[in-house]
């Protein structure tokens, strides 16, 4: 899990270092967020330690507008989602979002001039996959696929796969094991412990 968390954290932070060779509508959606994110990350007024919260708050706004946390939460629970009451579903989505934020918030500090090159985009009606690779200073490449869907009048990311490891599938496996051995309430408790 630690390697998976690191890889996905790196992929999310590299949204801030994207170089676009080809861009359709979904890729352009990511590009717009990247441009705004880079302005925040490179703003000299936000570089000091006492400005970290302000920088993270601004980046949070960008990420919240780019990611479809409702869809991510639903897919991360898989078949367990349908077993929840509407109230439990409403409770889970913000808890899942906060859980992801807590895990990945500091990953932006992993950005160290690496480049993300967007290679192609495959669109199938209301779904798209944006294929990219991250290249570090030594030339090592990491494959990243951003899975998107049309939602709320635009394109939003609902999953990120790094070296064929899906964030959603990774959490679905973990959550399924936990819920098979205990309960939804126990899952919520563990997630809240991670975010407190």
State the average pLDDT over residues 85-91: 96
Q: Are strands 115-124 and 18-20 parallel, antiparallel or unpaired?
A: parallel
Please report how many Cα atoms fall inside a 13 Å half-sphere around the Cα of residue 100, on the Cβ side. Answer: 25
Residues 43-64 as b or e (16 or more Cβ within 10 Å = b):
eeebeeeeeeeebbebbeebbe
Distance CA(102)–CA(100), nearest Å, equals 5
Distance of CA 154 to the CA centre of its chain: 17
Distance of CA 45 to the CA centre of its chain: 26
* Number of domains the chain contains: 1
Which residue from 106, 80, 67, 79 is spatially nearest to 187, judged by alpha carbons?
A: 80
State the average pLDDT over residues 54-73: 89
Confidence (pLDDT) at 22? 46
pLDDT in tens, 89-123: 999 999 999 998 887 766 665 666 667 788 899 99
Q: Are 143 and 160 a contacting pair, CB within 8 Å?
A: no
CATH number for the domain spanning 73: value is: 3.10.450.710
For residue 154, with 0-12 CB atoms within 10 Å meaning exposed, 13-18 middle and 19 or more buried, which class applies? Answer: middle
- pLDDT above 90 covers what percent of the chain? 43
State the average pLDDT over residues 63-89: 94
Q: Measuring CA to CA, how many Å separate 154 from each of 76, 114, 148?
A: 22, 28, 10
Distance CA(109)–CA(96), nearest Å, equals 22
Residue entry with tokens 């949070």? 60
Give the range of the structural domain holding residue 41, as residue numbers without chain letter: 2-195
Q: Per-residue pLDDT for 155 more than 60?
A: yes
* Per-residue pLDDT band at 4 (split at 50, 70, 90): very low
* Per-residue pLDDT band at 46 (split at 50, 70, 90): confident
Distance of CA 36 to the CA centre of its chain: 16
């Amino acid at each position: 899990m630690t390697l998976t968390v690191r890889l996905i954290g790196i992929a999310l932070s590299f949204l801030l270092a994207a170089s676009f060779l080809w861009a359709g509508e979904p890729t352009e959606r990511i590009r717009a967020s990247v441009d705004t994110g880079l302005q925040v990350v490179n703003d000299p007024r936000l570089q000091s330690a006492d400005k970290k919260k302000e920088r993270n708050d601004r980046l949070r706004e960008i990420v919240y507008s780019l990611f479809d946390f409702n869809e991510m939460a639903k897919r991360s629970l898989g078949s367990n989602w349908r077993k929840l009451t509407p109230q439990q579903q409403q409770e889970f989505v913000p808890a899942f979002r906060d859980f992801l934020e807590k895990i990945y918030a500091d990953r932006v500090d992993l950005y160290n001039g690496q480049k993300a090159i967007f290679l192609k985009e495959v669109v199938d009606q209301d779904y798209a996959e944006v294929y990219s690779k991250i290249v570090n200073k030594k030339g090592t490449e990491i494959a990243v696929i951003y899975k998107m869907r049309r939602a709320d009048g635009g394109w939003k990311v609902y999953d990120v796969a790094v070296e064929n490891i899906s964030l959603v599938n990774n959490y679905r496996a973990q959550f399924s094991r936990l819920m098979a051995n205990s309960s939804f309430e126990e899952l919520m408790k563990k997630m809240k412990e991670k975010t407190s």
